[in-house]
Amino acid sequence: MQDNNKVYGFTLSLYEYHKTIPTLWEATKRFIEKNPEYLPKDNAMAFISDDQGRSYNLCHFWSNFEIGDLDFWRSEAYTKFFEHLDQEGGFYYERWGDAPVHSIGVALFAKKEQIHFFKEIGYRHEPFQHCPQGQLHTKGQCWCDETDTFDYIPYSCTYRYDRLF
């Protein structure tokens, strides 16, 4: 990842339950309004919003398998964002978890090219599974069934990631 200037990698992406984060996006929008300088032009906003940031489509990278660059998590932009969210109280009063918070932060503050989908790594966390496809499956000697992959079923957000490119 370092050789290719990637700051975040994932294997699964899906929709969050709105009831767990009802005020997260409004808190995020308040941060964006006060700190627009932290958002690069070529970020991955389109992964998390269908209307240029007016609303959150609930997509997030599942954090059960993620690899992140600690320099990114310690960056001024992400640190200030996290401190802002902490002041808002949603970690305590709602259930703002690491997956939607990491995903929003990465989508907003990293360039979309810095986010990597590990197509070649099989991963299963009940009830979801990413299984490499085609040559990646054969080359990796995967045990998983190629037809049993979560990547492009309706509750997956992977197609949104693919549309960024």
83 near 111, Cβ under 8 Å?
A: no
Name the CA radius of gyration of the chain, rounded. Answer: 16
Give the span between the Cα atoms of 128 and 12, in whole angstroms: 8
- Helix or strand or coil: residue 43? strand
Whether 66 is a known active-site residue: answer yes
Q: Which of 16, 26, 66, 126 is catalytic?
A: 66
Question: Which active-site residues does the annotation give?
Answer: 66
